[in-house]
Copies of this chain bind each other. A is one copy, B any other.
Amino acid sequence: MTITLEEIAQRAGVSRATASRALHGTYPVKAETKQRIAKLAKELDYQPNLAARSLRTERTCTIGIVVDDISSPFSPLIVHGIHDALRQNGYVSLIINTERQVETEIDAMHDLLGRSIDGIILVESFLQRDRVMPDLAGKPFVFVHRLFNSGVGNCVMVDEQYGTRLAVEHLIHLGHRKIAHITGPKGWDATNDRLTYFRETMTRAGLPLDEALIREGDWEIEGGYAAAQALLTVPERPTAIFAANDSIAVGTMYAIQEAGLRVPDDISVIGYDNLPSATIIRPKLSTVTMPCYDMGQTGAKLLIRQLANHALPDEQIKVRGELIIRDTTGIPVLSTLKAKSTHS
């Protein structure tokens, strides 16, 4: 029923070996024979049996993807990037979803090893968070993550310094001086990074750092809302708020609007991630992209390099997002006037 190499070889009047060589193009085969075999293969729609091939070669052209949550807002984009890069190089992937369970992640690794895959990409791995290096029987692996910055082994991370600067400098260039920051929850590398680089950027620009303008959020709308309400009561109200992610930014906008103020006329808001919420809310949210697709591609390419040459040293790569200016950031005209009149 199915076409085997044997079938092709017989019809072409050659041995299986020759047919195999002809189709691979790596060994010398007479040009004429080669063409005849190629034609035959095409006509018969020959599909090499990959199980047989990998039994022989110990390569499967399949890589495993271990992902924290395949239906989160970020992971599908990362997986998309991985897929595209793999496909261009003739690889496919098996995906295992860990539901953010460390045990599932470890089980998944086992499973994948049994399937004799060539390598593994771990997306938002909990092993990596805990700085644990998985044991993969010598198979190459790459970490891709947004929220941890361990920088151990082969990994692709976000350039948080670059992204934070894009956001904060955008506000500074618009003329803002009193800029508040609503952070993510404690204990996340991303929270620390964005806060650190917020401070750094302010200082670099020679602006004062008012600790009263730094509040903690929870990555969600609710936390952003509460933190922003608090910010609106400080004596020297900020003219702009840098939210550590888009959900916080949305909550911030609700708090501002509910207080009877306008975005961006009274207070500018900028987010981080560029999730769909940024274009659902009105006015549309200015933000910095989380370069998920790019990270996925970069990770897959890194793995492919490692696959080609196992001796390569580990690489840590940072990927940069970009600034998306929409309608929530503007010149601090009105606020400044108001502030002046209050003081006069």
- Residues of A bordering B, CB below 8 Å: 1-2, 47-52, 54-55, 60, 62, 70-71, 73, 75-77, 79-80, 83-84, 87, 92-97, 110-111, 113-116, 137, 221, 250, 254, 276-277, 280-282, 293
Contact = CB atoms under 8 A, between A and B. Distances in A.
15 contacts: A47-B114, A49-B55, A50-B114, A51-B51, A52-B55, A62-B94, A70-B80, A70-B83, A71-B76, A76-B76, A92-B96, A93-B95, A95-B95, A221-B280, A277-B277
Nearest to A279: B221
A55 B51 CA distance: 6
Nearest to A278: B280
A125 B115 CA distance: 28
A279 B77 CA distance: 21
A49 B51 CA distance: 10
Given A49-B116, A94-B92, A116-B49, A254 B282 contact: yes
Which of A87, A96, A97, A280 has the most chain B CB atoms inside 10 A of its CB?
A: A280
Contacts of A62: 94, 115
B76 A70 contact: yes
A239 to B, nearest CB: 24
B93 A94 contact: yes
Contacts of A115: 50, 62, 92
Integer count of this chain's copies in the complex:
2
Contacts of A47: 110, 113-114
Nearest to A57: B51
Which of A60, A71, A276, A293 has the most chain B CB atoms inside 10 A of its CB?
A: A71
A75 B1 CA distance: 34
Nearest to A296: B71
Contact of A250 (B1, B49, B137, B280): B280
Contacts of A94: 62, 92-94
A149 to B, nearest CB: 24
Contacts of A54: 51
Nearest to A49: B116
A103 B260 CA distance: 53
A71 B80 contact: yes
Contacts of A1: 137
Contacts of A51: 50-52, 54-55, 60, 116
Which of A62, A80, A84 has the most chain B CB atoms inside 10 A of its CB?
A: A80
Nearest to A58: B51
A111 B92 contact: yes
Contacts of A77: 71
Given A55-B51, A55-B52, A97 B114 contact: no
A80 B121 CA distance: 18
Nearest to A79: B70
Contacts of A110: 47
Contact of A83 (B55, B97, B113, B281): B97
